Structure 1
Amino acid sequence: MKKPDLILNLSNSSNLSKTDAKIAVEVILEELTQGIVSGEGVEIRGFGGFYKKYRKARQGINPKTSERTEVSEKFVPFFKPGKFLKEIINKI
């Protein structure tokens, strides 16, 4: 599902216009982003948590040339699914 599909589904399943649904989705995504960037993370009980994880520097290999290269340290977004989400996925 892509963002326009999410907006359309939200609009159809609620009494929101497409414009209001678009604003709601954009606000939610902005708040998720700010929570992850700030380091606090965002936890939605039953669904999961969004965090940023630290990755230390390491040696990487270019798959095309097999050349070794240094990959610098960085933060990456991380999602940890909640118990309810894991259960639902495994039932299907």
Structure 2
Amino acid sequence: MTTTEVISAIARKTGIDRNDIRKTVEGLLQVIEDAVIDNHRVHFSGFGSFYKKKRAKKIGRNLNTNTAIVVEEHYIPYFNHSKFFAEKVKNA
């Protein structure tokens, strides 16, 4: 689903104006993004957690030139689903 499809689905289920939902969804995503960047975990009970995860320095390979390259230590955004959410998806 795209963001537009999510907004439309919420509007159909709740009857709330699409523009209000769009602002709310965009605001929620911005809050999650800012929190993860600031090294905070965002947890939704029964759904999962968003946080940043550290990747260690490693040796990679440039496949075009077949040479080794160093991939420096860096952070990636990460989502860890809850057991309840995983169970719902599994049984659907």
Q: TM-score, normalised by structure 2?
A: 0.92
**Stretches of 4+ aligned residues off by more than 6 angstroms:** none
Which residue of 1 is the match for residue 31 of structure 2?
31
Report the Cα distance in structure 1 between the residues aligned to 2:45 and 2:63, rounded to whole angstroms. 39
Report the number of matched residues.
92
Aligned equivalent of 1:80? 80
Gaps of 5+ in 1: none
The TM-score, its normalising length taken from structure 1, stands at 0.92
Aligned to 1:11: 11
Instruction: Out of 56-65 and 21-30, give the one that drifted further.
Output: 56-65
Aligned partner of 1:70 in structure 2 is: 70
Looking at structure 2, the residues matched to 91 and 68 of structure 1 have their Cα atoms a distance apart, in angstroms, of 44
Gaps of at least 5 residues in structure 2 are none
- When the two chains are superposed, the root-mean-square deviation of aligned CA atoms in Å is 1.1
- Taking only the aligned residue pairs, the percentage that are identical comes to 27
